[in-house]
């Protein structure tokens, strides 16, 4: 497990970011360090220039053009940031929880932009809009989230961290973009049981091909309600000819339903056109007589074999805080974790200034949002790497960001204060006094 501890918050951040040092050249890493610090210390990142004017310029001699050049033309690979972030997260998993399942969540989010001179600027359909136009001018980002088990108050709880953003363009579809990120990190997860969580948009094509490519990767996801479902193949009859691969086509209306909370739920082992092997399907309906509001979920793994559920830990405590009735279906319990990526999108947009990038080319936009996830991940992981921040475990990343930002700002002000006394040679006593106050204030 990585342990970071330093009397200085600046040094703590630098020690954490040094794990990314191999990705950058010397000058680029210095800009990377100050950009991450600027994101953490700026309450609202209105633009790259705003971070530079309000923070970076006050504490360094860097020029604004060097920041823009770093984002647009530096040749550091985003995939390298992803693999290093995953390595840091995996190192924090306690030994006793390494047999538990890891979850990968994929989804995409839209970001409105005003001005048609951005790369990849197109009109997107926004299915969340309930009134007015359902189309949005701007960008679409495909994101992947990793959920790792950690101890919290003597129980296992999953921490969700982003591991990569990709800007959608017409050159490549979203399924292929998500598949590339998954393939990038799966070699690091070969010792774990991994389950991919996704909605019905991603439960097809390249994503399912990727699931079939790795022996330790399974999928629990929503599919279209009209997905063809078949009974298991009949037993061999001993007659000539190739045996049937599927049984008769099934109608979900004929399933045996149980009332769980507000919904009727049915589960069955079936065959589909999505996989050559049998899978487990879960169907939910608000009312089985008119058979309305149908949702269908698939699981390529027997829910009883999900290792998180097989531990001594209670499922509803490990995955969610739902009541016992709502957690009867293990497939639905597992699928609920997918909602964490929606929470992350909300936090990034409303508290981390996700959409306030004022750079135009595709490379710069992708690099900016991925630097944002590095800063966000640092805020999430810091309480598990530094014991002095234990009280912030599973707290809002915004709260941790503000605490870190205030402390770094104090230290930078102190550094400037000390430098002003160096020529007079009277600063040593003042330095020790103020440093003691800052250390006491931080630990408190």
* Rounded mean pLDDT, 428-443: 60
Among the ranges given (58-62, 127-131, 237-241, 416-420), the one the predictor scored with the smallest mean pLDDT? 416-420
Band the pLDDT of 402: cuts 50, 70, 90: very high
8-state DSSP, 431: H
The answer for residues whose C-beta is within 8 angstroms of residue 352's C-beta and 6 or more apart is 39, 45, 372, 375, 376, 397, 398, 401
pLDDT of residue 130: 65
Q: Which residue reads 């409105």 in tokens?
A: 112
pLDDT of residue 109: 92
Determine the Cα–Cα distance for residues 298 and 282; give it in Å rounded to an integer: 6
* Rounded mean pLDDT, 142-150: 95
* Rounded mean pLDDT, 255-268: 90
pLDDT in tens, 169-198: 888 899 999 999 999 999 999 999 999 999
Band the pLDDT of 321: cuts 50, 70, 90: very low
8-state DSSP, 116: T
Res. 149: pLDDT tops 80: yes
Q: Is 397 left (phi over 0), alpha (psi -120 to 50) or beta?
A: alpha
Res. 439: pLDDT tops 50: yes
Return the bridge partners of 139, or none.
Answer: 111
Res. 311: pLDDT tops 50: no
Return the bridge partners of 159, or none.
Answer: 148
Rg (CA), the chain: 25
The answer for residues whose C-beta is within 8 angstroms of residue 351's C-beta and 6 or more apart is 397, 398, 401
Determine the Cα–Cα distance for residues 56 and 65; give it in Å rounded to an integer: 12
Among the ranges given (78-87, 123-132, 152-161, 372-381), the one the predictor scored with the smallest mean pLDDT? 123-132
pLDDT in tens, 130-144: 667 788 888 999 999
- 3-class DSSP assignment, residue 311: coil
Residue 101 token pair: 């399942």
pLDDT of residue 19: 95
Q: What average pLDDT does the chain have?
A: 86
Prediction pTM value: 0.86
Band the pLDDT of 323: cuts 50, 70, 90: very low
Among the ranges given (10-14, 237-241, 286-290, 343-347), the one the predictor scored with the smallest mean pLDDT? 237-241
Among the ranges given (60-74, 173-187, 202-216, 325-339), the one the predictor scored with the smallest mean pLDDT? 325-339
Res. 423: pLDDT tops 60: no
Res. 427: pLDDT tops 60: no
Res. 229: pLDDT tops 60: yes
pLDDT of residue 176: 94
pLDDT of residue 289: 84
- The Cα angle at residue 404 between residues 403 and 407, in degrees rounded to 5: 90
pLDDT in tens, 332-390: 989 999 999 999 999 999 999 898 888 889 999 999 999 999 999 999 999 999 888 99
Q: Which residue reads 């926004």 in tokens?
A: 126
| Whole-Å CA distances, 360 to 68, 174, 210, 429 | 10, 21, 32, 50
Residue 362 token pair: 């595709």
* Rounded mean pLDDT, 114-118: 83
The answer for residues whose C-beta is within 8 angstroms of residue 289's C-beta and 6 or more apart is none
| Whole-Å CA distances, 231 to 244, 269, 300, 439 | 11, 8, 16, 66
């Amino acid at each position: 497990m990585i342990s970071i501890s330093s009397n200085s918050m600046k040094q703590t951040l630098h020690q954490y970011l040094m794990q990314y040092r191999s990705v950058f050249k010397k000058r680029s890493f210095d800009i990377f360090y100050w950009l991450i610090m600027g994101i953490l210390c700026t309450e609202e990142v209105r633009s790259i220039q705003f971070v530079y004017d309000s923070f970076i310029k006050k504490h360094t001699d860097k020029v604004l053009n060097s920041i823009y050049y770093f984002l647009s033309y530096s040749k550091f690979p985003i995939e390298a940031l992803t693999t290093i972030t995953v390595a840091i997260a995996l190192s924090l998993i306690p030994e006793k929880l390494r047999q538990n399942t890891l979850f990968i969540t994929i989804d995409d989010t839209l970001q409105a932009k005003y001005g048609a001179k951005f790369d990849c600027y197109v009109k997107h359909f926004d299915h969340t809009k309930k009134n007015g136009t359902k189309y949005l001018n701007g960008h679409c980002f495909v994101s992947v989230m990793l959920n790792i088990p950690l101890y919290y108050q003597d129980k296992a709880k999953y921490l969700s961290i982003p591991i990569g953003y990709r800007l959608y363009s017409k050159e490549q579809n979203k399924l292929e973009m998500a598949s590339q990120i998954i393939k990038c990190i799966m070699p690091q997860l070969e010792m774990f049981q991994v389950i991919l969580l996704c909605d019905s948009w991603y439960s097809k094509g390249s994503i399912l091909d990727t699931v079939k490519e790795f022996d330790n990767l399974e999928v629990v996801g929503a599919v279209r309600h009209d997905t063809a479902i078949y009974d298991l193949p009949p037993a061999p009859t001993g007659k000539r000819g190739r045996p049937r691969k599927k049984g008769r086509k099934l109608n979900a209306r004929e399933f045996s339903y149980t009332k769980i909370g507000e919904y009727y739920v049915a589960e069955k082992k079936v065959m589909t056109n999505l996989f050559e092997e049998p899978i487990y399907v879960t169907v939910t309906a608000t009312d089985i007589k008119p058979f309305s509001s149908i949702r269908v979920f698939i699981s390529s793994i027997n829910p009883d074999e999900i290792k998180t559920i097989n531990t001594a830990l209670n499922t509803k405590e490990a995955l969610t805080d739902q009541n016992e009735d709502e957690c009867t279906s293990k497939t639905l319990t597992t699928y609920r974790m997918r909602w964490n990526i929606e929470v992350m999108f909300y936090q990034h947009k409303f508290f981390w200034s996700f959409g306030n990038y004022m750079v135009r080319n595709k490379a710069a936009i992708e690099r900016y949002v991925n630097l944002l996830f590095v800063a966000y991940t640092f805020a999430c992981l810091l309480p598990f790497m530094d014991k002095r921040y234990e009280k912030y475990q599973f707290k809002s990343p915004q709260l941790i960001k503000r605490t870190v930002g205030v402390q770094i700002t104090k230290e930078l002000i102190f550094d400037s204060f000390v430098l002003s006394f160096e020529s007079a040679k009277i600063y040593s006593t003042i330095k020790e006094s103020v440093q003691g106050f800052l250390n006491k204030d931080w630990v408190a």
